[in-house]
Amino acid sequence: MEPTYDVLVVGAGCAGMRAAIEAHDRGASVGVISKLHPTRSHSGAAEGGINAALGNTAEDSPEMHAFDTVKGSDYLGDQDAIEILAAEAPGDIYQLEHWGAVFSRNGEGRLDQRPFGAAGSPRTVYAADITGHVLIQVLYEQLQRRMTQGMKVYEEFFAFRLLVEDGRCTGVISWDLMNGGVTLIRGKSVILATGGVGRLYRATTNAYACTGDGMSMALREGLPLKDIEFMQFHPTTMYPSGILITEGCRGEGGYLINKDGERFMQRYAPNALELASRDVVSRSETTEIEAGRGVNGSVYLDLRHLGPEKILTKLPGSRELAMTYAGVDPIYAPIPVRPGAHYHMGGVETDNQGLTGIEGLYAAGEVACVSVHGANRLGGNSLMETITFGRRSGHAAAEYALGAPAVGNGGEAARADAETWIKSLLGNTQGERPWSIRDELGQTMLDNFGVFRRPEKMEQQVEVIAGLRERYDRGVVIEDKGDVFNTDLTQVIELGYLLDIASCMLQAGIARKESRGAHSRPYDFPERDDANFLRHSISHWKGDGPELTYGEVRMTKWEPMERTY
């Protein structure tokens, strides 16, 4: 009989591990499925820090944190969720510290905090410039401790379908990467924590595993995706690799300069300069590059004036990355950087406890849209979201599961159907290789739905996606017919996820006739339009494609106002 748990967590990054820990501590039996070893999850790539209003460096408060987040979201964030994040963040930071997170400290021995973009106070707690790495190691230690108490972790299991019976999610169908074979693992409740979909773009900071798995699985089960058109482009991804160079570099005083050595942010954001919000800085860089003031499609991040001691103490990881992947030592020369796809503000619609529209199914982290980020995420808020809402979803899923009836013995038909589908994919001998479709998708999304969105380019991309979908449906060839570590097979499934999400993004982006946050249409709708578009886009999958509706933004105390920098 298939294994059954009270709570089944899909994904083992920061959100998934924090959810699993909380569910276990609430008395639930917990299983965790991850297509990677947990410490290889993309959360470990986060560098600059995690936001909480501790007030250790300057005056701060949860209300100031909440307001900065609302304003940074271009007023599309749900304010009740944002207030929860800001209020509960300090306690979550102290919990992580007590578990062993080695955060950097100031001269008084308190947790140090650095300034980040669009923040009214220095509130980003950090561990040099490897904060995500530190957090994921600490959480995995806590996971291992609970594994000795009965928690089960299924490493290298690729979840590709949800099991929904009579309107309730009761498990997940996976492919066992190590041994081969389709497996069914049951849960009285299920938490999706599968991360984002940055691999839709050729130039991205995201790991190869970030392919929108949970979003597409939920979409195909009838759940809506919220605000899916909003993809954040991080301003400082290294040329040519696309590897992230943390916002902490600018928080510590780094400058952005063009090929003439001009500190160009003085023209775009004269007050905030390099610490304007990410959407503003990315648009400014793109404008410089398009005007011919860049070098090889990039601008420069200059840290030389910070001096060796500060770079070696607070930004050692960024220096190592620059030396290894760009051949540049930032102590002596600036780093070539450009905007790259970084974070998806949209995702599976949830309430403030992570509950989706299907009974027993929860979501947390980048796969979910609570929504605390709205149209633009502030740096440092995503790590905090994984911890705070990972914890909340783990709590809610455990409380539900401990009072829910046992799952039935069904599901074998669904497992068998999935197995037949996998065999058909492996048996296909005609068609093209999946990487050719995936590469074309990534390049055209960058060209046609990037930092600036032109109407004719977006319409062109709709046709491109339709053509790629037709080629995909016609059949793709998996050369590896084996069972063990068949990454050919998983990449075909992931490609289907990417095409699903791309279709939803383009439909919602074309329909949003305004510029708001990361969605910038400077050539036809350059202004924000609160009268018509201060609302969430809601994407459902109907038949063979997406269907778009809208939902209200939840407001508590802050009315929209113009952003100034």
Residue 369 CA to residue 386 CA, distance in Å, equals 12
Strand partners, 311: none
| 210 in Cβ contact with 515 (< 8 Å) | no
278: annotated active-site residue: yes
Nearest to 215 by CA among 505, 565, 562, 529: 505
Residue 387: what are its φ and ψ, rounded to 5°? Answer: -75, -50
Residue 346: what are its φ and ψ, rounded to 5°? Answer: -85, 175
Residue 70: what are its φ and ψ, rounded to 5°? Answer: -60, -50
What 3-state class would DSSP assign to 411?
coil
What 3-state class would DSSP assign to 252?
coil
The interaxial angle of helices 381-403 and 14-25, nearest 10 deg, is: 40
| 54 in Cβ contact with 68 (< 8 Å) | no
DSSP conformational letter for 232: E
What 3-state class would DSSP assign to 256?
strand
Quick one: tokens of 285? 């860089």
Nearest to 434 by CA among 377, 386, 473: 473
Quick one: tokens of 527? 């202004």
Nearest to 28 by CA among 365, 400, 388, 362: 400
Nearest to 397 by CA among 81, 18, 37: 18
Gyration radius of the chain over CA positions? 22
Helix (H) or strand (E) holding 484: none
Residue 158 CA to residue 250 CA, distance in Å, equals 37
Residue 23: what are its φ and ψ, rounded to 5°? Answer: -65, -40
Residue 517 CA to residue 373 CA, distance in Å, equals 10
Quick one: tokens of 425? 């994919």
**Cα separations (Å) of 39 from 95, 389, 487?**
20, 20, 19
**Chain centroid, CA 288 distance in Å:** 27
Catalytic residue among 278, 391, 438, 516: 278
For residue 374, which amino acid is it? G
| 89 in Cβ contact with 65 (< 8 Å) | yes
Per DSSP, helices labelled H in 50-104 are: 62-72, 79-99
Residue 196 CA to residue 42 CA, distance in Å, equals 9
DSSP conformational letter for 307: -
Instruction: Give catalytic residues, as residue numbers.
Output: 278
